[in-house]
Amino acid sequence: MKAEKIPLLLGIILIILLAFLIVWQADVLGVSAARLEQDARENQEIGNNWEMAQAVNDDMCAMLFYDEEKDDCAYSIYLSREGFSFGYFFRQGGFDPYMAESVKGIVFEDKGIALLSLNEDGVCRIVVDNDTGKKVISVDPEKPFAVVLPVDCSEITMYDAQENVVTLYDTYTGI
């Protein structure tokens, strides 16, 4: 009786192993929300001594890493996928000197907009206008920020502490 169960058990183990390999190769397992920072730091070789500003929603995660002096920065964008998948998948990242000077906007047409900045302009308020009305997002004018906005934003206006409009100079569609 035991000799009959061994081939059956080996067959079940083989089927489970094949199913796991198929799922792994199909690239449906992304990074969980809890591991996004760790994954970005490891893959982009960002030290733990750098601070981070992060924003996450169901479709996108935007992270801005920066050193203590705010002289250097790196960013990471992760997106979720439609259909049968789990977690977030790295989309783009790296060093961008423009984020140190102003606010960088990265648009992903079907996911939303990521705003990233070391906040040299002192942005303290972001007003987003869309079909449902205006939404006000408060930002610490002394700290770098990452903000994720929905895809249906029609107008984005940023203000500093003196109520001056801060221009979003660089907005482009992410690759």
Can you give the pLDDT at residue 37?
94
Q: Are residues 144 and 80 in the same domain?
A: yes
pTM: 0.80
- Greatest distance between any 2 Cα atoms in the chain: 83
Can you give the pLDDT at residue 128?
92
CB 160 within 8 A of CB 126: no
Q: Are residues 25 and 104 in the same domain?
A: no
Domain count, the chain: 2
Q: For the chain, what percent of residues have pLDDT higher than 90?
A: 42
CB 152 within 8 A of CB 86: no
Q: Are residues 19 and 81 in the same domain?
A: no
Q: Are residues 11 and 44 in the same domain?
A: no
Of the candidates 111, 130, 113, 131, which has an alpha carbon nearest to the alpha carbon of residue 168? Answer: 113
The string of pLDDT tens digits covering residues 67-95 is 988 888 999 999 988 776 678 989 889 88
Q: Are residues 85 and 159 in the same domain?
A: yes
Can you give the pLDDT at residue 172?
66
36: three-class secondary structure by DSSP: helix
Give residue 55's domain range.
31-173
Can you give the pLDDT at residue 159?
94
56: three-class secondary structure by DSSP: strand
Point out the residues of the chain with pLDDT beneath 50. none
